[in-house]
Amino acid sequence: MKRRNFLKNSTIGTAGLITAPILASFDSTESINSLDNVDLPIQWPIAICTWNFANATAKAWEVLSAGGNSLDAVEQGVMVEEADVNNQTVGKGGRPDRDGHVTLDACIMDKDGNCGAVIYLQNITHAVSVARRVMEETPHVMLAGKGAEQFAYEKGFKKEDLLTDKSKAEWTTWKKTSQYKPVINIENHDTIGMLAIDKNGEISGACTTSGMAYKYGGRVGDSPIIGAGLFVDNEVGGATATGVGEEVVRTVGSFLIVELMRQGKTPQEACEEGVKRIMDKNKDRRDFQIGFIAINKKGETGSYCIHPGFSYSMYTKAGQVNKPSESYIKP
Ligand code: SD4
């Protein structure tokens, strides 16, 4: 059923999927147009993110349920993990590169296809917010390294030491062997990619990470690369990734998944195809993890990963759930 018919017949309802207060908010011509090709029922607002980051989706939900927009929701949602020093793959407390520097990658993308990213950012906790300022207050999409850091200070972000005692101690131990051996679902664990749809049906996404632990100095992963670690097309949906970024970049994974949804695949089917493309390029490799999550315009979601152990967090008006992801390699 198309949206206009649905509105005419709105007393029929679709229990559990859409509520009267949400319908009441459908008053913008813009969102009516963007819904013309969308079959109902729909599930808005909604926020999903990689892994079991319940606090992050709860924060996003707080924004969405108060009528806030999806851009604010994803920014504020992932900021929870950036500030959490116990999350050693995002923001403050993140594991350093092999030289002991914590370097952050992040990006954000809005309903209009605007995007901003920071790459190899040091000494600033909220990389995603710097990325948003790049998007909104510069003519650029990406700022890297010292330039990104300088820009952040100009915008009032404060300098912080991101290397916690815990991450420093682990790095010191690692230096004794200096072996680069990412551990599936442990060392690759915890990058947060978030996608949200607000009450007006507008989609935004954000992704933020300290990247692979003990990486080469200067290494950049998929997370700040629009199309790789994150992609949003407000007509279709969004996708985001976690895991070994090099492989996600090689397939431009998130863009691929959104395009597959455009061609008619469900979010689940699109994520499965995304992982399959990666495995097709890595016929003899099984020693790495990647997880994708995706959402389409209706608010349907999907996820897929290489190894068992990945999950995603989802918050809707029905509450919060952590959804285990199916995997290419079976348990
Ligand atoms: C990267 N994709 O830098 C990130 C790492 C990651 O959880 O996802 N860690 O390649």
Tokens of 289: 């993890």
Specify the pLDDT at position 50: 97
* Statement to judge: residues 113 and 246 lie in one domain: yes
List Cβ neighbours of 92 (8 Å cut-off, separation of 6 or more): 82, 83, 84, 85, 102, 125, 160, 162, 164
3 state DSSP class of 153: helix
Ligand 1 centroid from CA 303, angstroms: 16
233 located within any domain: yes
Number of H helices, E strands in the chain: 11, 13
Nearest to 71 by CA among 90, 105, 45: 45
* Statement to judge: residues 47 and 24 lie in one domain: no
* Statement to judge: residues 51 and 3 lie in one domain: no
* Statement to judge: residues 116 and 163 lie in one domain: yes
If DSSP states are collapsed to H, E and C, what string results for 199-250? Answer: CCCCEEEEEEECCCCCCCCCCCCCCCCECCCEEEECCCEEEEEEECHHHHHH
Place of tokens 């007006």: 200
Kind and range of the H or E element at 315? strand 311-316
Instruction: Pick the residue whose CA is nearest to atom 7 on ligand 1.
Output: 191
* Statement to judge: residues 125 and 244 lie in one domain: yes
Which domain CATH number covers 118? 3.60.20.30
Nearest to 249 by CA among 232, 270, 266, 274: 274
Q: Is 222 in the pocket of ligand 1 (CB under 6 A)?
A: yes
* Statement to judge: residues 114 and 18 lie in one domain: no
Cα of 106 vs its chain's centroid, Å? 9
* Statement to judge: residues 12 and 124 lie in one domain: no
Residue 320 structural domain: 43-324
pLDDT digit string (tens) for the chain, length 331 residues: 333 333 333 322 333 333 333 333 333 333 333 455 555 567 899 999 999 999 999 999 999 999 999 999 999 999 999 999 999 999 999 999 999 999 999 999 999 999 999 999 999 999 999 999 999 999 999 999 999 999 999 999 999 999 999 999 999 998 888 776 655 555 545 799 999 999 999 999 999 999 999 999 999 999 999 999 999 999 999 999 999 999 999 999 999 999 999 999 999 999 999 999 999 999 988 888 999 999 999 999 999 999 999 999 999 999 999 999 999 999 9
96 located within any domain: yes
261 located within any domain: yes
The active-site residue out of 191, 209, 242, 301 is 191
Tokens of 177: 């062997």
* Statement to judge: residues 114 and 260 lie in one domain: yes
Integer Cα distance of 48 and 323 in angstroms = 10
Q: Is 211 in the pocket of ligand 1 (CB under 6 A)?
A: yes
* Statement to judge: residues 31 and 54 lie in one domain: no
258 located within any domain: yes
Q: Which atom of ligand 1 is nearest to the CA of 211?
A: 3
* Statement to judge: residues 29 and 150 lie in one domain: no
Total domains in the chain come to 2
